Copies of this chain bind each other. A is one copy, B any other.
């Protein structure tokens, strides 16, 4: 592999939209026989409610549909194809066995309202998973309902709000560090809070000083991310928590970066009142190209009365769903959460066990520091200290050649890698946020390091080559301005061999 780059070119396939293919009367599936009387729909529904056709709807055979999506899939990059160091997203490899277990009919074909007596396996799994997540995070209870991290943040803020209301007033403001992920302020806002930004200190940490100045009896909570989005562990988290608690506020922890400290430090032991997990990050649930994930929320005992219903409880040998929580905030979604994602996370925890999970943290941190130590020589490292799960560089040393973070990211594709997260966190200008995770081998990291170094050299020698990247992908850089200026968000053409237009 020395001189050979991983990124090469091969045969791919042009594939038009579903709507531009097929012909009238084709169909890609067969339906069960109709074994009841062939009553005319007019006899079953009022004329004015009847729909007769959906012009423009696809008409394809099974083979056409299969080829369509098989071809499309090959235009994608995934963890199973290569290194995906998307900072803050923890794109680790998802064990294949987990994709088998959730599909077991007893899980995937179970109805949420089937009798509890016929759902004991599912309830047991949720009950156990809550225990596991509580132990891992040092929290007292965990709600499995939230569908994703941001959803967990929202629930977390709702719990805090309900708790404070029970103490007299929901309060008005929430403190959010400038290094926080955008979902933090957005979640606080939806929960009816004003956001106050806390400036990170020169060393990249949230400073107790700054928190103390912003903290008062109108502040409901602070939302800290730990380890933070610079990949640093907030050393003063305990002091910060003390300050906030002293004024009656609550401490929320964005647990997106738990991967770095799992088995080593527990947010619950650092003064955190509420946190969310991203099972699609730390616990290997595959991200699915944009979800579904799951964002369970861990909480301390004083917030338990406000948990969304139902909660799973164990009565003797039986597991039951308890809806009877008088002070509950209610529900943030129907049913119980992303159960199929919970099954995967449960399976993941059961396969790794205590030692395996700790090893996850160790190796992910070793991998991140290894990358950092090797890339320092070619890229500007704004905060030069040992990191946790990720390291954040910037394009400062390439800007003189008019090569920017975006260009570096695109050029990485030609070398066969997915780019890191870029331009986040906002406090680093032109940030390149690199999270290798524990599932990458040293050789893969070395290949990535070699590519990054070569790109740094190209930036000096042949900047245009980098600015015009990517060169090996199916399409080159896309015109995002055009996309936003003249939004084309749906197909409106005319279907082959169909009469009507696509107007539904």
> Which residues of A are in contact with B by a Cβ distance under 8 Å?
1, 4-16, 20-23, 30, 61-64, 66-67, 70-71, 74-75, 77, 80-82, 93, 95-96, 351, 413, 416, 439-443, 470, 472-474
Measured between beta carbons, the chain B residues less than 8 angstroms from A30 are 351
A7–B23 CA distance with the chains assembled, in angstroms: 22
List 21 A-B pairs, Cβ < 8 Å.
A1-B14, A1-B20, A6-B13, A6-B15, A7-B11, A7-B12, A10-B10, A10-B75, A10-B472, A10-B473, A11-B77, A11-B413, A11-B472, A21-B443, A23-B441, A23-B443, A61-B441, A62-B93, A66-B93, A70-B81, A71-B82
A12, A62, A96, A413: most-surrounded residue (chain B CB, <10 A):
A12
How many copies are assembled?
A: 2
A1–B13 touching, CB < 8 Å: no
Would you call A13 and B81 a contact (CB within 8 A)? Answer: yes
Chain B residues within an 8 Å CB radius of A23: 441-443
Q: Which residues from chain B contact A416 at a C-beta distance below 8 Å? A: 11, 13-14
Give the residues in chain B near A12, CB-CB below 8 Å.
Answer: 7-10
Q: Is the CB of A7 within 8 A of B14?
A: yes
- The contact of A80 among B15, B70, B470, by CB within 8 Å, is B70
A473 to B75, CA, bound (A): 15
Bound Cα distance from A63 to B472, whole angstroms: 24
Query: Which residues on B sit within 8 Å (CB–CB) of A7?
Result: 11-14
Residues of B within 8 A of A5 (CB): 14
Given contacts A11-B470, A14-B416, A71-B81, 19 further A-B contacts (CB under 8 A): A5-B14, A6-B13, A7-B13, A7-B14, A8-B11, A8-B14, A9-B11, A9-B12, A10-B11, A10-B75, A11-B473, A13-B81, A23-B441, A23-B442, A62-B95, A63-B439, A66-B80, A70-B81, A71-B82
- C-alpha spacing A62/B9, complex, angstroms: 25
Residues of chain B with a CB closer than 8 A to A473's CB: 10-11
Return the chain B residue nearest A475 by Cβ. B10
Kindly provide the distance from the CB of A42 to the nearest chain B CB, expressed in whole angstroms: 30
Chain B minimum-CB-distance residue to A20:
B1
Q: Point out which of A21, A416, A441, A473 has the most chain B C-beta atoms below 10 A from its C-beta.
A: A441
Which residues of B have CB within 8 Å of A474? 8-11
What is the minimal beta-carbon distance from A455 to any residue of chain B, in angstroms?
A: 16
Across the A-B interface, give the 4 residue pairs with the lowest CB-CB distance, nearest first. Answer: A10-B12, A63-B93, A10-B474, A9-B9
When distances are taken between beta carbons in the complex, the residues of chain B under 8 Å from A66 are: 80, 93, 96
Complex formed: what's the CA distance from A1 to B290 in Å? 30
Contact assessment for B8 and A4 in the assembled complex, using a CB-CB cutoff below 8 Å: no
Closest to A351 in B: B30
A439 to B28, CA, bound (A): 12
- Which residues from B are CB-within-8-Å of A96? 62, 66
CB distance from A19 to the nearest CB of B (A): 13
Q: How far is the CA of A67 from the CA of B93 in the complex (A)?
A: 10
Complex Cα–Cα for A408 and B149 (A): 54
Q: Which residue of B lies closest to A61 (CB)?
A: B441
B74 lies within 8 A of A10 (CB) = yes
Chain B residues whose C-beta falls within 8 Å of the C-beta of A351 in the assembled complex:
30
On chain B, the residues within 8 Å of A67 by CB distance are: 80-82
A20 vs chain B, min Cβ distance (A): 8
CB contacts (< 8 Å) of A16 on chain B: these are 1
CB within 8 Å for A13 and B9 given contacts A21-B443, A64-B441, A66-B96: no
Query: Considering only CB atoms, which chain B residue lies closest to A439 in the complex?
Result: B63
Given contacts A64-B441, A67-B82, A80-B66, contact A13 B8 (CB under 8 A): yes
Q: How far does the Cβ of A496 sit from chain B's closest Cβ, in whole Å?
A: 8
Which residue of B has the minimal Cβ distance to A93? B63
- How many Å lie between the Cα of A467 and that of B358 in the bound state? 58
Q: In the complex, A268→B371 CA distance in Å?
A: 70
